[in-house]
Structure 1
Amino acid sequence: MVFEDESSDDLSGLQISSSDDGMHYQIPASIEDQDYNGLENAPEGLCVEHRLPTERRVAFESFETGRRFLVCAQPEAVNCGFLAWVDPEWPPTMQNALLKLWEIFEDSRTARRKDNQESSLTIHHLKEEKRNLDANYDKLVEDVHQLLNAQEDRVLDLSSSSFWKKNIQ
């Protein structure tokens, strides 16, 4: 079975080239399943090249979601690319349903990412507007204080001039 890498997410699997059949495989992204994890010690669960126990995984992408498989347990650099499916392939109706669900998931994730970007941009603009309003408010407060001081000085000037007028008469 040939897999194409359609995503750049953390869930994308490991690319494998098999020298046996010349085909290009991709180990599907997988999740931990408490009922199916650890190393497979059965003879049919040994990786072909290393003859070591394989690792149990459960697929979590595309129409393979939920299928169990075995892979070489070696690190990516020395991984031989052994991949053996434990569960049979899903029927076509199930594959189509899973593909549709993944498509809906990707669409909603894209929409959510777009909404987050738009919200972030809106927040940025609102912060800029708030900074401008704060600056304008500070300027208005300063102007009001100057006007009040000028009015107070004027009242004092008027009262002192009326005081002198009274005393002169």
Structure 2
Amino acid sequence: MPSWKDGEESSDEEELLGMDLEQHWANPGTTIDASFRGRVADASITCRLRLAPCMKYVTFEGRDTGRRFYGCAVPQDGIDCGVAQWVDAPWPSILQRCLEKIWEMFHEENCGRVIDHAKYKKELDKVNKQLDTLGDQYSQLVEEVTKMFDWADQNNRVMSDE
């Protein structure tokens, strides 16, 4: 059933305004599948903006992981026409939720590693500064000991001359 009152109409533009265009237009992350690659044989399947022939892709992120689709072959000027046509039907909703959860867990773990790496780098910088300081102190100590031995040698010569 339409959600508008009698006499009102809806256009495609109005429907698109409520959608997340980034998600709708951009190609999702993809992976290589040797059994599904190359250009689309059907010339009627073209990208939305340039009407260029599409390429075959396999999704590798999010709820559509593993789904095959035809998408923009040549993104230009940062514009990606996105998915032109899905080859596979959507996964069952339970599988979509599981895939979303797995990807969420992956991103959380990855974020944790990034944070741990930043902490490690900060601690490593601190230790390197301490090492540099200790190296400088050691050099100064060696220089002072050398001066002390030189002074002692000079005093021994003076005492032995007397």
Deviation at 1:95, TM superposition (A): 1.0
Alignment check: 8 A CA contact 2:48 2:84 kept: no
Larger Rg: 1
> Unpaired segments of 5 or more residues in structure 2?
1-11
Q: Select the structure that is richer in strand.
A: 1
Deviation at 1:122, TM superposition (A): 1.8
Equivalent residue number for residue 38 of structure 1:
38
SS of residue in 2 equivalent to 1:39: coil
> What is the rounded CA distance, in whole Å, between the counterparts of 2:45 and 2:124 in structure 1?
54
Deviation at 1:83, TM superposition (A): 2.0
Deviation at 1:115, TM superposition (A): 1.6
Please report the RMSD computed on the Cα atoms of aligned residues, expressed in angstroms.
2.6
> What is the rounded CA distance, in whole Å, between the counterparts of 1:158 and 1:48 in structure 2?
99
TM-score (norm 2): 0.74
Equivalent residue number for residue 61 of structure 2:
61
TM-score (norm 1): 0.72
Q: 1:141 to 1:42 in 2, by over 3 A?
A: same
Q: 1:81 to 1:113 in 2, by over 3 A?
A: closer
> What is the rounded CA distance, in whole Å, between the counterparts of 2:49 and 2:121 in structure 1?
50
> Unpaired segments of 5 or more residues in structure 1?
1-17, 162-169
% same residue: 27
SS of residue in 2 equivalent to 1:123: helix
Q: 1:138 to 1:112 in 2, by over 3 A?
A: same
Question: When the two structures are aligned, how many residues end up with a matched partner?
Answer: 144
